[in-house]
Structure 1
Amino acid sequence: MLEELLTPVVAPIISHWPGLQPYRLQLAIGFLVALVWLLTVLFNWITSRLIQHLSRRGSAMNGQVLKAIRTPLRLMIWLLGISLLIEILSHSGVPVSKAVGAELRRFGTIIIIGWAGLRLIRVAEEWLMSPARGGRKQLDKTTADALGKLFRLILLILVGLTLLQSAGVSISGILAFGGVGGIAVGFAARDLLANFFGGLMIYMDRPFRVGDWVRSPDKEIEGTVEHIGWRLTRIRTFDQRPLYVPNATFTNIAVENPSRMFNRRIFEHVGVRYSDVGRVKEIVDQIREMLLAHEEIDTHQTMIVHLNRFGPSSMDIMVYTFTKTTQWVKYHAIKQDVMLRIADIIEQNGAEFAFPTQTIHLAGQDEEPAFAGYPGPGEGHNPS
């Protein structure tokens, strides 16, 4: 074996310089290291030029694929060089079995191929979420993440089984043991399996995805979804605390997803004084006209502006409408604008908002009743 490795290069050199015969091992090792280094430099130069060429032509996906496999292929060159070096040393008296090089080459190749596969899956995952996919529909982060995890799991299982088979372990025995031992494992890890299947149901039913605002009326859960794992879902609450929820929890609770609302609702009661009863109809009509003309109000949704009830100290006008936006901050700005416009309408009609008041009738007195509590604006307060 040693002669086969040394003969093509070292033997001609030794034939010209017989004095180098005692150093033929050093010559072989030096030549091998130089060859691996030269191949690495040449490989880096070629791949760099290819990546630049693909980038100029707009083939971003091909460039990312080449970047993903570049490092594993470079490592493969060094793996082959190290395995050949071990085989050379095994013939020179070094206590290393020549089978070590072959085993290293075999197991290392399987691991490197698996590593390259994981990097390619990551590139494909980013490509699926990329908006520039040649007209194809962009996948959301949750779906792409689920597909990436599934293919990673399949790849890791295949690599693990291949390594076991290369090590001489019977795969059929492992599969048979998995069928019998799976029952015991299922009982021992039922909570873990419940979370796993809970995560699977989230990926299939998709009640929410990464980036959605969710909350539950059954649990104190509210915030933005940051990550959906196989066991836990991480939610960032509005006070910026991370909340880790086991996936099995979502199979037993109701979950609201406000991020999927089409509109946001404005629902208020406006109370005016009983002394302004003659102005109520005009106020109601003007509020309705204002909402119909408002650029941020969705007039295709339900709109109710009516005198709704007689309160203890006010006549209450119900204002029920929907905004076009669902953004939380913008919604409150629109709501503020609508409420200020309603206040202007009431003021323009010479009416006033009602305050909580009580009328006390004193027995045996014919004078005007006194007001207790808080009088309305412009009303006097009789201390008697």
Structure 2
Amino acid sequence: MEFLQRYVESFGYDWLSNVLLITAGSFVLWLAWRVIYGRLEAITAKTQLAWDDLVIRALKTPVSTLIWVWPATVSVGLIVASHSDKDTIWLGKIDLILVITTFIWISLRLIQNVEEHVLEQKKRDETTVQAIAKVARLFFVTIGILTIMQALGLSLSGLLTFGGVGGLIVGLAAKDLLSNFFGGMMIYFDRPFKVGDWIRSPDRAIEGTVERIGWRMTIIRTFDKRPLYVPNSVFSNIVVENPSRMLNRRIYEKIGLRYDDGDKMEAIVDDVKIMLEGHKDIDSRQTLMVNFDAFGPSSLNFFIYTFTKTVNWARYHEVKQDVLLQVMGIIKSHGADIAYPTQTLKIDPVIMANDEAQSKHIIQP
């Protein structure tokens, strides 16, 4: 930095001319970078690998910014040196911080490009990719901050020693924030659910589709399209169901026949079971039961217990409807019918005759 400043001053121009000279040099260098970048972009476009394109795109804006800003610090040094006798060594530290910041900026852009590329391929789990990307960003940002502190002359050993005591204080003051952070880490590594899953909890009024898993909270879209923001620490203390990972969906129905159709119960149960075993949407490898179950108040009840092959909610109801319609057809084919609540009233004829005689005696004059 100092060498470049002395070299520019050796031309003997005033500070304004020197600044204009540096600006012109920056412009020429920027044009050269644009030409080089265009050439590199054309070369990488011809390759089958996508990673070289991601690296080139990550370099574009940070390098252009460095080409303009770094010479600008030289111009600032010339202006300060021409108007005062103050030392300009501090500008060298600014240049070092600028280089470190550019490196971190390139790293973050590269991580973002890789994340977007992997998610577009749809060959990896979205939640896992986002978790790795966030950890990578946190790593590079932390390294950058520590490097900048060291460049400014701060002692990292003293800073880490202070961090041990300060970390305890901060941890107590921000325990909720930390619990949410580690709750998010638990979700990323245990993976009880991922983005796009339908989840619900019997312990809390939580049910919907996961839209985003952040470091502090998870966003769930309920079925009436309301966003639900749940702190990650909540998932450490509740039971979470994930219906999206079901292998099958269950059909469990009780059907009642009239008592007058009791002699047809066995044949109906057998035919229903045969129908389910041959149904193309019923998984016969799972438990399949059709049995006479109970004597109801006004019906003879049998139950159906089986599982569909599909786990899609809409398709499941279509299969269930088809099964119930076929069961109704089987019952009708046997000349039976489905029972509905009825009551039978029996009247003693002797009591009825006495009531009629008493009513006639009362009516006579």
Name the TM tier (shorter chain).
Answer: 0.7 to 0.9
Choose which of 209, 212, 216 in structure 2 pairs with 1:227. 212
d(CA) in 1 for partners of 2:215 and 2:166?
22
1:314 equivalenced with 2:264 (yes/no): no
d(CA) in 2 for partners of 1:354 and 1:69?
76
User: Contact 1:61/1:127 (CA < 8 Å) preserved in 2?
Assistant: no
Q: Deviations over 1:166-224 (max 9, x none)?
A: 22222211110111122222222222222222222222221111111111111111111
User: Contact 2:54/2:114 (CA < 8 Å) preserved in 1?
Assistant: no
d(CA) in 1 for partners of 2:329 and 2:216?
55
d(CA) in 1 for partners of 2:212 and 2:267?
53
User: Contact 1:198/1:250 (CA < 8 Å) preserved in 2?
Assistant: yes
Residue equivalent to 1:5: 8
Residue equivalent to 2:310: 325
Number of residues of Structure 1 aligned to a counterpart in Structure 2: 349
- Letter of the 1:5 partner, please give it: V
Displacement of 1:48: 2.8
1:171 equivalenced with 2:156 (yes/no): yes
d(CA) in 1 for partners of 2:338 and 2:198?
37
Displacement of 1:39: 2.1
d(CA) in 2 for partners of 1:240 and 1:312?
43
**TM-score if structure 1 supplies the norm length?**
0.84
- Letter of the 1:155 partner, please give it: F
d(CA) in 1 for partners of 2:229 and 2:261?
55
Residue equivalent to 2:59: 69
1:237 equivalenced with 2:194 (yes/no): no
Higher relative contact order (CA 8 A, sep 6+): 2
1:305 equivalenced with 2:290 (yes/no): yes
Residue equivalent to 1:124: 114
SS of aligned partner of 1:173: helix
Choose which of 233, 247, 266 in structure 2 pairs with 1:262. 247
Displacement of 1:24: 5.8
- Letter of the 2:115 partner, please give it: E
Residue equivalent to 1:382: none
Residue equivalent to 1:31: 21
SS of aligned partner of 2:41: helix
Deviates more, 1:281-290 or 1:326-335: 281-290
d(CA) in 2 for partners of 1:280 and 1:44?
85
**TM-score if structure 2 supplies the norm length?**
0.88
d(CA) in 2 for partners of 1:300 and 1:366?
61
- Letter of the 2:298 partner, please give it: S
- Letter of the 1:236 partner, please give it: R
Displacement of 1:3: 5.2
Higher relative helix content? 2
Displacement of 1:44: 2.1
Displacement of 1:139: 2.9
Change over 3 Å in CA distance of 1:343–1:94 after alignment to 2: farther
Change over 3 Å in CA distance of 1:29–1:186 after alignment to 2: closer
d(CA) in 2 for partners of 1:61 and 1:169?
37
Choose which of 85, 90, 102 in structure 1 pairs with 2:92. 102
User: Contact 1:237/1:243 (CA < 8 Å) preserved in 2?
Assistant: yes
User: Contact 1:266/1:323 (CA < 8 Å) preserved in 2?
Assistant: yes
List alignment gaps of at least 5 residues for structure 1. 12-20, 133-137, 368-384
Residue equivalent to 1:85: 75
User: Contact 2:258/2:336 (CA < 8 Å) preserved in 1?
Assistant: yes
User: Contact 1:86/1:100 (CA < 8 Å) preserved in 2?
Assistant: no
Residue equivalent to 1:141: 126
Q: Deviations over 1:281-320 (max 9, x none)?
A: 2222222222122211111111111222221111112111
Indicate the RMSD between aligned Cα atoms, in angstroms.
2.3
Choose which of 34, 43, 46 in structure 2 pairs with 1:53. 43
d(CA) in 2 for partners of 1:366 and 1:273?
30
Residue equivalent to 2:357: none
Q: Which runs of 4+ in 1 moved over 6 A?
A: none
- Letter of the 1:344 partner, please give it: G
User: Contact 1:309/1:316 (CA < 8 Å) preserved in 2?
Assistant: yes
SS of aligned partner of 2:285: coil
d(CA) in 2 for partners of 1:77 and 1:96?
26
Change over 3 Å in CA distance of 1:313–1:40 after alignment to 2: same
Displacement of 1:45: 2.9
SS of aligned partner of 1:88: helix
SS of aligned partner of 2:83: coil
Change over 3 Å in CA distance of 1:55–1:334 after alignment to 2: farther
- Percent same amino acid at aligned positions? 43
